[in-house]
Amino acid sequence: MSGIEGPGERPVGRASAGRARVLGGFAAFGVVWGAWGATLPAIQDAAGVDDGELGAALLLIGAGALASMRLTGATLDRSGPAATPATLALLAGALLLPGLAGSMAGLCAALFALGIASGAVDVAINAEGVRAESAGGRPVLSLAHASFSAAVIVGSLLAGGLAAVAGVALYVTLAYYVHRTTLPGRRILEQLAYL
């Protein structure tokens, strides 16, 4: 594949690989959040908080995301896509924290950290989407956001039905996204980018 397309043909090569990465990244992010949402009762129980306290603590995810988004944008402006794997590693670590919180204070700190990581990933994958659109000359972000939403539903259903292994599903999904470019199935993702 040369990365060159003729009239009426779809872009190939790097452009289609970038499109596949963006769609896969948004879908993986959606599965993670869907599965995470299904674990809220266990997180609430581990932290020993009531419904009102949990609701208040959940606000800190948004606060953390807002706090990190501008900084992440500036970091990506300086380092480009090289910073994206670091945001994913940050999210992988932050996903562990709420389950380890044994108190309201611990839960608040964990959810703020999770928000920071989530905001960083959100900015990074959207920046990847902009790069993929520029490289391929085709819109991808609308489909990427739709894949995120659909994947939240899938993640919720999977985690709800497989509660005993929900933690494993979260990390397998995230690991798949992080390492997708080294997997033999990468060509499948590239082909799915055309759907």
Reported as a single tens digit per residue, the pLDDT across 52-71 is 999 999 999 999 999 999 99
The larger pLDDT score, comparing residue 57 to residue 157, is at 57
Return phi, psi of residue 5, to 5°: -130, 150
Q: What is the pLDDT of residue 25?
A: 87
Q: What is the pLDDT of residue 2?
A: 42
What are the structural domains, with CATH classification, of the chain?
Answer: 14-192 (1.20.1250)
Q: What is the pLDDT of residue 169?
A: 55
Name the average pLDDT for the chain.
Answer: 81
Of these ranges, 31-35, 47-51, 137-141, the one predicted with the greatest mean pLDDT is: 47-51
Reported as a single tens digit per residue, the pLDDT across 26-48 is 998 999 999 898 889 989 999 99
Tell me: pLDDT of 171 over 70. no
Q: What whole-number distance in Å separates Cα of residue 175 and Cα of residue 86?
A: 13
What letters, b where the CB count within 10 A reaches 16 and e where it falls short, cover 110-128? Answer: bbbbbbbbbbbbbbbbbbb
Reported as a single tens digit per residue, the pLDDT across 82-135 is 888 888 889 989 999 999 999 999 999 999 999 999 999 999 999 999 988 888
The larger pLDDT score, comparing residue 168 to residue 194, is at 168
Q: What is the pLDDT of residue 49?
A: 97
Other beta carbons less than 10 A from residue 86's beta carbon: 14
